[in-house]
Amino acid sequence: MRILIVEDDAQLAASIAEFLELQGADCDFAYNGQAGVTLATSQSYEVILLDVMLPKLDGFDVCAALRKHGMSTPVLMLTAMGTTEDQINGFRVGVDDYVVKPCPMPLLWARITALHRRAQNQQALKHLGPLSIDIEARQLERAGQPISLTPTGWKILEILLSHSPKVVARVDIERYVWPDEEPDPGRLNVHLHALRKALDQPFEFALIKTITGLGVCISEEN
């Protein structure tokens, strides 16, 4: 797990990072609010730990700026400012959790992992036009209507979604679905037909498209 610690007290930041890295995390540091925004928007992190009292930009402004950028990375505000008004302000600008210093390190780690787990579960839920897909739960709806797929149908859907709206070569689909078997175009055709029947046939327009000579894609564009 990559964690960004935005904290102007370098000694405290190092102490927090030492504990988190013992749990297997990888930590980066920003010692003022502007640096925090720059790092958070230019690199990828699973969780951001954010103080309120920071030079250049305070923590509330940092979180507001990240949400304005469209970032959904979980933000845990870790601060000595613990009044009810402070906490309301934090949640108003988009923080996901608010922890008042001092906080026992094991409890801080538990809250970080809870945020990370929640974010991963949310990422498992995808939307594509009229489709709502929960990969982990193997649940699929189109326009609110539940759709059942075979295990092979799910595998094909997964690779098409991961590349959407780009075209996936048939050979790449075969390798993904049957990695230890020789390609069999007829076999893929059967499963693609079943997937189209379940996903597209009862509805007004097709999401799964065959691009002659290139492969298959899933896209809401007609």
Of 63, 93, 124, the one marking the end of a domain is 124
Q: Are 6 and 27 within one domain?
A: yes
Q: What's the CA gap between 41 and 38, in Å, rounded? A: 5
Contact 86, 79 (CB under 8 A): yes
One domain, residues 25 and 116: yes
Q: How many domains does the chain have?
A: 2
Residue 45 has pLDDT above 60, yes or no: yes
Task: State which residues form the domain around 59.
Answer: 2-124
The answer to whether residues 51 and 155 belong to one domain is no
Task: State which of 67, 99, 124 marks the end of a domain.
Answer: 124
Predicted pLDDT of residue 16? 95
pLDDT tens for each residue of 87-139:
998 998 989 999 998 899 999 999 999 888 887 765 555 778 888 888 777 88
Residues 113 and 20 in one domain: yes
Final residue before a domain boundary, out of 124, 139, 164? 124
88: Cβ contacts below 8 Å, ≥ 6 apart: none
Mean pLDDT across the chain, nearest whole number? 89
CA 82, 84, 86 angle in degrees (round to 5)? Answer: 60
Cα separation values, 57 from 15, 71, 100, 124, 199, Å: 23, 17, 19, 33, 48
> Strand 47-50 and strand 2-6: pairing?
parallel
Distance CA 36, CA 7 (A): 9
